[in-house]
Structure 1
């Protein structure tokens, strides 16, 4: 892996997992030493993060981690509904029914994974990620998939903001199972409707549990 790719992946993970909080200044010298790369690949990595909207240049302060506000969350979900509903409909038209029937079966069994612990949450997120990947494969539209992957980077940050308790995850598993079932049934309109319902409930949950991060040293 190239040094710039390694630095980009490490910084992106630190930002999406909230180890680097909004407002954190990413100084070149400090981050180069921390990540074990020279300043040229680090600058390349920071440029990619800024292009994705995870960082921004703040005048003379350098590159700073961006915040996620309630307005940002609304805008992300507007785009998410546009992309994901279309993707679900296309997957229903183009996908392999057997793949989605298997995912439906596993999603219906998912409540057994969800016990409120971190391993349980990660196991469920892994399963939801497999549904996303199966939809991407079924859609077979490189431009749509690229747009969705760019969006998902921000959605990981948003998900970490929400208090995903066992009750919400259990409900989400049922919603994902309904999406998989609609796709397996080759019913595009039902797949869109199931996706719309899931996104509406996810957005409501995120906004109800969102707690703005208080930033320090913002002179």
Structure 2
């Protein structure tokens, strides 16, 4: 793996997971030494993350992890709703939908294993598998690229509500219903179930953001949400 790619993927995962919190200063020398790369590939990684909207340069020599505000999240979900409802409806019309029946059963099983970190990790892995199945069923590179951009930010945003056990259980069941609707070829139900899931997810995330009194940004995330990126996953 190229040094620049290593630095990018390392910082991306740490920002998305919350290990690098909003507002954290990313000093070039310190981060390069920590990751084990030189400063040139580290700068390349920071440029990519800035294009993604995940970091921002506050001065010529200071780069920080971008902050998120409620407006950014609402804008992101507005785009997500348009993309994912279309994706669910299109996937339900695909000729091969067998994978979604399998995924629906997996989501049903996942609802019983959310009591520990391992169970939650398996659930998030299942969501990634669901996203891959959606992308394959739709077969639209432009739609997939737009969703990839959204998912990069959603990995980070989603973790704001991950400590809400009731919401996690509800989310699993919502995904199960979406998968069942796609598997049965019911496009209207798939789109409606997606709409309900996104409405509930947004409400939960905004509640968590308000409760935690999270820092507010100057909307840097919105610009990043319009860039093409290589991130993944969904809330």
CA distance in 2, matches of 1:104, 1:23: 39
Match of 2:28 in 1: 28
Match of 1:119 in 2: 118
- Give the superposition deviation at 1:166: 2.7
Match of 1:98 in 2: 98
Contact 2:110 2:172 in 1 (8 A): yes
Q: In the superposition, relative to structure 1, how do residues 100 and 26 fare at CA in structure 2: closer, same or farther (>3 Å)?
A: same
- Structure 2: 5+ residue stretches without partners: 217-235
Contact 1:100 1:180 in 2 (8 A): yes
- Structure 1: 5+ residue stretches without partners: none
| Higher RCO, Cα 8 Å, sep 6+ | 2
CA distance in 1, matches of 2:43, 2:61: 15
The 10-residue stretch of structure 1 (52-61 or 131-140) with the greater mean CA deviation from structure 2: 52-61
- Give the superposition deviation at 1:163: 4.1
Deviations 1:156-186 (A, max 9, x none): 1111111443321111111111111111121
- Give the superposition deviation at 1:14: 1.1
Q: In the superposition, relative to structure 1, how do residues 18 and 95 fare at CA in structure 2: closer, same or farther (>3 Å)?
A: farther
Does 2:167 correspond to 1:168? yes
Match of 1:10 in 2: 10
Contact 1:95 1:135 in 2 (8 A): no
CA distance in 1, matches of 2:36, 2:16: 20
Alpha-carbon RMSD across the aligned residues, in angstroms, is 1.5
Q: TM-score, normalised by structure 1?
A: 0.92
Q: Trace 1:60-209 onto structure 2 (pairs within 5 A).
A: 60-94=60-94, 96-115=96-115, 117-209=116-208
- Give the superposition deviation at 1:77: 0.7
The 10-residue stretch of structure 1 (29-38 or 49-58) with the greater mean CA deviation from structure 2: 29-38
Count of paired positions? 214
Contact 2:68 2:215 in 1 (8 A): no
Q: In the superposition, relative to structure 1, how do residues 95 and 203 fare at CA in structure 2: closer, same or farther (>3 Å)?
A: farther
Q: TM-score, normalised by structure 2?
A: 0.86
CA distance in 2, matches of 1:170, 1:16: 22
Q: Trace 1:29-48 onto structure 2 (pairs within 5 A).
A: 29-48=29-48
- Give the superposition deviation at 1:62: 2.1
- Give the superposition deviation at 1:95: 5.2
Q: In the superposition, relative to structure 1, how do residues 146 and 176 fare at CA in structure 2: closer, same or farther (>3 Å)?
A: same
Give the match's secondary structure for 1:58: strand
CA distance in 1, matches of 2:16, 2:70: 16
